Structure 1
Amino acid sequence: MPKVVSPQALDRLAELIANHPDGIGVEALSQALDIPRRTLQRRLSTLAGQKRIFTEGEGRATKYRLAPILNATVAVQGVTAVESVGQVNAEVYVHTSPEGEEIKAYIRHPRQQRQPVSYKIEFLEQYHPNKTTYLPTPLRVQLHALGRSSAEQAPAGTFARDILHRLLIDLSWASSKLEGNTYSRLDTERLIEFGQAAEGKDALETQMILNHKAAIEYLVQGTEHAGVNPETIIALHAFLSDGLMPDPLTCGRIRNRPVDIGGSVYLPIAMPQRLEELFGIVMSMAAEIQDPFEQSFFLMVHLPYLQPFEDVNKRVSRLAANIPLIQYNLCPLSFIDVPQQAYVDAVLGVYELNRIELLRDVFVWAYERSCQQYVAVQQQLVPPDTFRLRYRNELAEAVRAIVRGGHPASETAIRASMPATVLLEDQPRFVALTLEEFKTLHAGNVIRFGLRPLEFVAWKEQGERS
């Protein structure tokens, strides 16, 4: 069964192929990377599926080449589809700011042409909670308008609990996909709903999905203890890394050994004592941030940059970014349809340049996309009007009486036509409800009140003449 292929391993392979413009064969690649042939073929297949490479020739003469350079962009509904020439299909990328394009251009250079860098404490020190902002005020206003839910005034976590079933599937699938997981959304739905693992998938892929499910449930169902604090982040790592770490003791623990970032020239901090201290500072600063979107984005920037755990840092940051959104009953960030390459480029921009603009582009695009996904779900969550249900027969009777009697839709006419079964204390609200119904009444929907379209048209014309 195929194994999970890490984005870093794919990046290394793509980088090696990029260094051979005329193409390179399997034997040469295998020798250069010193990995088993079957592993190499699996990675080549994944890159080909992502349209990042293509093949030339047949049999032993087969060579692999990097996809041609992208040369044109076409914006469609906020997404920039980057069209390429040659034998590959278009690469889909998020809408990118000029600053984001600069970062993307740098990161797309071969690794050998990028300047090696280490962790820079200045990047963190330059940020002052509630004074420094990665998200400008107009952008935060826009995000608040997009993310507002019907549960705005309800207890923390209400909206996320209302849409939990959909969120479990979307976020588990999309976040795992960004790590190279090949589960489809339908496969993910079957696994989460029925515990049915997809055929032909590696057990690690299945575990990754189930880990996301457990971590999301922890955040949504335990809002009283799941907050922007070190304990929650460590708990998220314990959930997300369960069964996926070479050493089980590293699950839910700050790392005590150096790590490398595959495909990057960034070298994270290595000293365990300093790492733990900086982790506490990052979380303390994050907790001070008042705006939930700024807080969310800060976590997406600084948790991966610090690399507090041996692995699974980006997954932790993506779920951590949802903590303030869940607490404020805002639309969650599911990362649905986020292009993997755009996300990888953006994170590398933070690692190697300490620049957040491309990741901000990804964050905003991803949030807009998430909100679009949940608009229909949110509409379905609007509770039925129990008052209207209670008086639906009286409402229909009053509307019929006014239309057939040729009366104007006024408070006086409604009170005159109001059935005796409407309680005295409910009468003002009944009048208001009936007036609202008349505002949306037309020939196509009058049948709801037992009227014929011609009756309504005649009443309407009479009102226009008078």
Structure 2
Amino acid sequence: MSQFDECAIGGYVVRTIPRDSYEAVLAAIARFPDGARIEQIEVNLSAPPHRRTLQRWLNSLITQERVRREGQGRAVKYLRGKVVSAQVNAVAKASGAAHAETLIPLSPEAKEIEQQVRQPLMLRKPVGYNRTFLDDYRPNETYYLSPSIRDELRSQGQAVSSHEPAGTYARQLANRLLIDLSWNSSRLEGNTYSLLETERLISAGEAAFGKDALEAQMILNHKEAIEFLIDSAGEIGFNRYTLLNLHALLSDNLLDDPTASGRLRTIAVGIGQTTFLPLEGPQRIEECFAQVLDTAAAIRDPFEQAFFAMVHLPYLQPFEDVNKRVSRLAANIPLIQRNLCPLSFVDVSQSTYISAMLGIYEINRVELLRDVFVWAYKRSCARYSAVRQSLGDPDPFRLQHRQHIIQTVATVVRDKLSKPQAIRHIHRFAQEQIEAPDRERFIEVVENQLLSLHEGNIARYRLRPSEFHAWRALWK
């Protein structure tokens, strides 16, 4: 839903759906029966786009099964997809929709929305941004989630004492959450990495063979953004600092204009598969963005707050791209802060999620997205309850000194300290930063962490594989 071409209209650079461009790409590929390299495709286009844009178009065509990718690394070639009859396609789509409904029980209102937004585009009315949809929401008076839903989610999501420091629960699940949320949020954008490939990328820094580099970048960006939310749990909120930095982390190296990362958009944008036309005009976008943040910040209930973010951030489209990703991670802000189970979108159907967003865009109805949100949260609660039981209760000492432990281990590795140098550094740090009763235990814990360090657990210390291997060679 985020693949576009650009043209100038009324002084704006407008991104439009590149149907003609797709056909040109397909025609270029067809000239190479044995498969075309991306360089060959570029040469055969009359107006080749930026390489990154062309890669996005190809990924979109692969998702539509109009193109297939073969080979690995530099040997990757693109071929025309197999011809499938429209009747077979219709049956497959109907089957997929039925499967999604089986997975996520939908209310009659949600089914009505789904049926409406799945009509052909020509039968759906073009609409613009409706400021009244935002203006009519009154924090703590208006509710998208009923009291019974909020109470049910709270009973399932409460895992640790509310008196624990913000982010305690998320830190306990950090390794699992990084993989689950990075994978599921990326999957909802059409990323083709498997769960195991995602785990390998995050744990060991190894990209999957034959996959587009943009897909690896998307997943790694999610990892960085989730770590930002967990590490800054006591400081984040629905404010410009949090949301702009969240966008900057999620969009890093993915936008055609790198300067647009972490900034509100100043251009008009279009969205594929919908008749919705987002708000235009930098001043109006700025005003509505501030209103969305102020409204979200004023909501007291964490689940209503999370859901409000999932509705109004993508509806406004405050950024040039990556808006839905920002909304999914922003929905976790109140959950992480209040030590509630995080939301990782486990098993959420991409087609149902897209339909739910179209319901927001085109008819300003939240029931379908509400059903997806509630179901997904219950799935996350069940998953992380089992994970937490397998982990056992966390060591309270390590929890209390977590940041100092991470800082000390990371310094030893990044500075390539030998064992004697590391011992001196750890003792000096303990003397300066740790209270006397805890110093001996702190030194013991840090030394054990260094001895057990390997490429599969370095992410918790924000270390890159290259840093680890350079240090390890000297440490041995």
- Of residues 75, 78, 82 in structure 1, which corresponds to 2:98? 82
| 8 Å Cα contact 1:151/1:158 also seen in 2 | no
User: 1:223 & 1:30 partners in 2: Cα distance?
Assistant: 43
Question: 1:46 corresponds to which residue?
Answer: 63
Distance 1:44 1:91 in 2: 26
Superposition map of 1:384-423 within 5 A: none
TM-score (norm 2): 0.67
What's the offset of the Cα at 1:245? 0.3
SS of equivalent to 1:67: helix
CA distance in 2 between counterparts of 1:41 and 1:302 reads 30
Distance (whole Å) between structure 2 residues aligned to residue 166 and residue 382 of structure 1: 14
Letter paired with 1:36: V
1:187/1:197 contact within 8 Å kept: yes
Tell me what 2:241 maps to.
231
Distance 1:154 1:382, change over 3 A: farther
Task: Give yes or no for contact 1:8–1:263 (8 Å, CA) kept in 2.
Answer: no
Superposed CA deviations along residues 357-387 of structure 1, whole A, max 9, x for unmatched, are 000011011111111110112223443899x
After TM superposition, list the pairs within 5 Å mapping 1:276-425 onto structure 2.
276-383=286-393
2:91 to 49, 57, 68: 68
8 Å CA contact retained: 1:173, 1:209: yes
**Larger CA deviation: 229-238 vs 30-39:** 30-39
Q: Which residue of 2 aligns with 1:449?
A: none
Give the structure 1 partner of residue 202 of structure 2: 192
The corresponding residue for 1:36 is 25
2:212 to 202, 215, 221: 202
Is the contact made by 1:92 and 1:339 (CA closer than 8 Å) also made in structure 2? no
| Cα deviation, residue 60, structure 1 | 9.7
Equivalent in 110, 118, 121 of residue 108 of structure 1: 118
Identity %: 54
| C-alpha separation in 2, matches of 1:59 and 1:373 | 37
Task: After superposition, give the CA deviation of every residue in 1:22-76 in whole Å (9 maximum; x if it has no partner).
Answer: xxxxxxx986953301488865553359xxxxxxxx999864553228779xxxx
Name the count of aligned residue pairs: 341
Q: 1:160 aligns with which of 170, 175, 180?
A: 170
Tell me: CA distance 1:248–1:103, structure 2 relative to 1, closer, same or farther (3 Å): same
Shift of 1:152: 3.5
- Determine helix, strand or coil for the equivalent of 2:98: strand
Deviations 1:284-304 (A, max 9, x none): 010000000000000000000
Tell me, which stretches of 5 or more residues in structure 2 are unaligned? 5-17, 30-53, 67-79, 397-476
Say yes or no: does 1:269 pair with 2:279. yes
Correspondent of 1:214 among 224, 231, 242: 224
Q: 1:354, CA displacement in angstroms?
A: 0.4
Greater RCO, 1 or 2 (C-alpha within 8 Å, sep 6+): 2
- Cα distance in 2 for partners of 1:275, 1:127 equals 18
- Are the aligned partners of 1:297 and 1:363 in contact in 2 as well (CA < 8 Å)? yes
In 2, the alpha carbon distance for the partners of 1:350 and 1:188 equals 30
Q: In 1, Cα distance between the equivalents of 2:251 and 2:196?
A: 23
Matched AA of 1:176: S
1:150–1:378 contact (8 Å) kept in structure 2: no
The CA deviation at 1:230 is 1.9
Alignment deviations for residues 410-445 of structure 1 (CA, whole Å, 9 cap, x no partner): xxxxxxxxxxxxxxxxxxxxxxxxxxxxxxxxxxxx
User: Residue type matched to 1:260 in 2?
Assistant: G
Aligned residue number for residue 125 of structure 1: 135
For 1:356 and 1:308, the matched residues in 2 are separated by 19
Change (3 A) 1:7 1:276: closer
One-letter code aligned to 2:110: G
- For 1:106, give the aligned amino acid: Q
Structure 2 partner of 1:94: 104
Q: What is the alpha-carbon distance in structure 1 between the residues aligned to residue 387 and residue 83 of structure 2?
A: 52
Does the aligned pair in 2 maintain the 1:282–1:302 contact within 8 Å? yes
Residues 125 and 59 (structure 1 numbering): CA distance in 2 closer, same or farther, change over 3 Å? Answer: closer
Correspondence for 1:182 among 178, 192, 199: 192
Quickly say closer, same or farther: Cα 1:71–1:199, change in 2 above 3 A.
closer
Q: Deviations over 1:197-218 (max 9, x none)?
A: 1111100000000000000000
Change (3 A) 1:59 1:290: closer
